Amino acid sequence: MRISVGDTLPDVKLVKATPDGPEQVQSKDYFAGRKVALFAVPGAFTPTCSAKHLPGYIDKASDLKSKGVDEIACTAVNDAFVLGAWKNENGADAVTMLADGNAEFAKAIGLDADFSGFGMGTRAQRYSMVVNDGVVEQLNVEQPGDFKVSSAEHMLEQM
């Protein structure tokens, strides 16, 4: 069942990409006590994700923080090394990368998708959400192939 506004995020292991290497974190702990702007991409280095999605959150980071966001995070069904390289290549210092390598988080929130037709297997749908102390305050899920409602600009308009 897909997560909804007002729901608490499930407690799932994620892997944070850090300069010192991968760091395992529990989602319950990561989202506790703060407001996080979270967005998901089907994959690092993919065209829309690299050209539009990530750059929008980099460009709007200070605007999001001025609206009370404590942290901006991106999740993808990639490993922490890939997400770390993507972060570095794009100068995304304002964005924390959370690897969901086995799609456990995507499945637990009901936002997984079958990309096997593209040779990519199970991935996350493209979405964004605002999470406040582990509770979903805002949720924007894209239709397949679209990039509209999960953008940083759209998130800001809703805040």
Give the Cβ contact number of residue 130 at 10 Å.
22
Report residue 24 CA to chain centroid gap.
16
* Beta bridge partners of residue 98, listed in sequence order: 16, 75
From 9, 41, 44, 49, active-site residue: 49
CA distances to 29, 81, 88, 131 from 13, rounded to whole Å, are 10, 16, 23, 17
E-strand ranges in 41-149 read: 71-76, 95-99, 112-114, 122-124, 127-132, 135-141
Q: Phi first, then psi: give them for residue 6, nearest 5 degrees.
A: 95, -15
Kind of pairing between the strands at 71-76 and 95-99: parallel
Q: Phi first, then psi: give them for residue 129, nearest 5 degrees.
A: -155, 155
Told to judge if 49 belongs to the known catalytic residues of this protein, a careful annotator would answer: yes
Catalytic residues: 49
